[in-house]
Chains A and B, each alone.
Chain A
């Protein structure tokens, strides 16, 4: 029997209040972790659970935590709630409907890694959600789950909610750190990785909101159970955010590995009346596009790599036949040229040139050479930039031009 891990409380009245959370056995995982387990045991369990990062890259959370060195410096946790990847809105649901689930995950993670100050970096536009988080955090302090002596175990932890101010690049983990230090969100060169040198030059764990929200269930029910909910090497469920031309856009929590076709046609109700499927972006805008005949695949990290796309944030954007592919290309090109931070030349110049060429295509002034130029520019960005935003721009753009070449050619000056 598969269960809901992340969205089980969403339908309850006042699900965001601590009393409701406690009634549903919330914070029992914290009790178990702090009172009955050692940090090493927690780390083992999370590693065994194969909890892969829900922010985009899918890196195993337990392995990431184990990279934090034992040095005589403060350590920090940053919960990444920047949620800027177009198509993605799942973290907003977690924080608005069950903020204590995230807080509980944060507490256990911090106890495991030896962290006493955590930040939740939330995108600036989510002001109302940030307020709700702050209220939840003060409730948690009042009940003794945060503060100087948590559950009288001597463990101490503070959580600070930090609002961004509108910049996609601050979702990239080192851009986030720079931003949190009060600077422009310019990504840092890696290595060193944040686990060893992160916030204020101290060891820092950065995890997505959904990743952290899985931790309480792993502690309570164990790694084996968690793997059974998804796939052996990619445990648990995902919150799939479906948007675009479907009947019922929204969030669907389903096992990792659920078929993309089923998500669209069974869970999200299929296409809107009278529309037919043309293409799907399966993992947020950074993910290469899939044609309608390519959606019979399992939604897990490895299957999507095999399909030459990416599970990313599991945000599914559904595109119908009537939407010109040029409109999709235009939105993608515009987004990345707007959001490139400008630090490295291939990304700064490449994204803005591509955007200019695409604008020309939209005006009906495109020439044969233009499609090739887009591919050439994208190829000159790929793998040649400081942070992964460059690849995140190049990959979907090339995939659109390659897979929909015929349609794009028909829009050119003959």
Chain B
């Protein structure tokens, strides 16, 4: 079964492909758009992308398994990615990760039973001036402490 892309995404994909001198070079942007559409990259989506870009499905699989931002598994509605690299660690990231583990009752890599939150630890987010920090979906949050985490999570419905 081939997944249904919305007309809008199809249009965007076409536009993105046109920006590259070779079609296969648009693989990452097309996968970003596809993941945006379905929330993750199921196998059928990988195949559909391979067909669109006229490349072998294995090429798409290679990319999906290499890049940490591309996932074959569904994530929660909010993907909380806490930086555990050096600057954030110095400023207490580990305690915050423990706090989130207890608060959400999941380990890094897991999703809550209601599919609302997925917790991950990531390497440096490139926002060390605001350490400790995290990214939720595409938004950055810096200068974290437990109180701030509480209020951020409360603001998400």
Interface residues of A (CB under 8 A from B): 74, 83-89, 92, 117, 123-128, 158, 160, 162-168, 179-185, 200, 241-245, 249-251, 281, 285, 315, 317, 319-320, 323, 327-328, 330-332, 334-335, 338-339
Contact = CB atoms under 8 A, between A and B. Distances in A.
Contacts of B85: 86, 285, 331, 335
B113 interface: no
Given A182-B28, A182-B53, A317-B87, 6 more contacts: A86-B123, A166-B122, A183-B63, A200-B21, A241-B129, A331-B84
Interface residues of B, number: 42
A38 B104 CA distance: 62
A182 B19 contact: no
Contacts of A250: 129
A194 to B, nearest CB: 15
Which 4 residue pairs are nearest across A and B when measured between Cβ atoms? A182-B27, A165-B67, A166-B68, A243-B128
A179 B66 CA distance: 10
Contact of A165 (B22, B25, B32, B59): B32
B1 interface: no
A180 B62 contact: no
B126 to A, nearest CB: 5
B120 to A, nearest CB: 11
Contacts of B127: 89, 92
A243 B129 contact: yes
B26 to A, nearest CB: 7
Among A88, A124, A319, the most chain B Cβ lie within 10 Å of the Cβ of: A124
A361 B62 CA distance: 35
Contact of A125 (B22, B69, B70): B69
A317 B31 contact: no
A163 B32 CA distance: 9
B152 interface: no
A327 B69 CA distance: 26
15 contacts: A86-B85, A87-B128, A89-B128, A124-B69, A163-B28, A165-B70, A166-B122, A167-B68, A180-B25, A182-B24, A182-B53, A182-B63, A244-B128, A249-B129, A331-B89
A124 B32 contact: yes
Contact of A88 (B59, B67, B126, B131): B126
B91 interface: yes
Given A323-B90, A328-B86, A184 B123 contact: no
Nearest to B67: A165
Contacts of B55: 182
Given A123-B126, A167-B68, A182-B24, A244 B31 contact: no
A89 B26 CA distance: 26
Interface of B: 19-22, 24-29, 31-32, 53, 55, 59, 62-63, 66-70, 84-87, 89-91, 122-131, 135, 138, 140
A334 B121 CA distance: 12
A241 B32 CA distance: 30
A183 B62 contact: yes
Contacts of A243: 87, 128-129, 131
A250 B66 CA distance: 32
A241 B126 CA distance: 10
A162 B28 contact: yes
Contacts of A251: 129
A316 B132 CA distance: 16
Contacts of A160: 19-20
Contacts of A164: 28, 67
Among B22, B27, B123, the most chain A Cβ lie within 10 Å of the Cβ of: B123
Contacts of B131: 243-244, 249
Contacts of B140: 128
Nearest to B130: A249
A162 B29 contact: yes
Contact of B25 (A181, A320, A335): A181
Given A167-B68, A182-B26, A335-B123, A320 B129 contact: no
B15 to A, nearest CB: 11
Contact of B87 (A84, A87, A123): A87
A338 B129 contact: no
Contacts of A242: 129
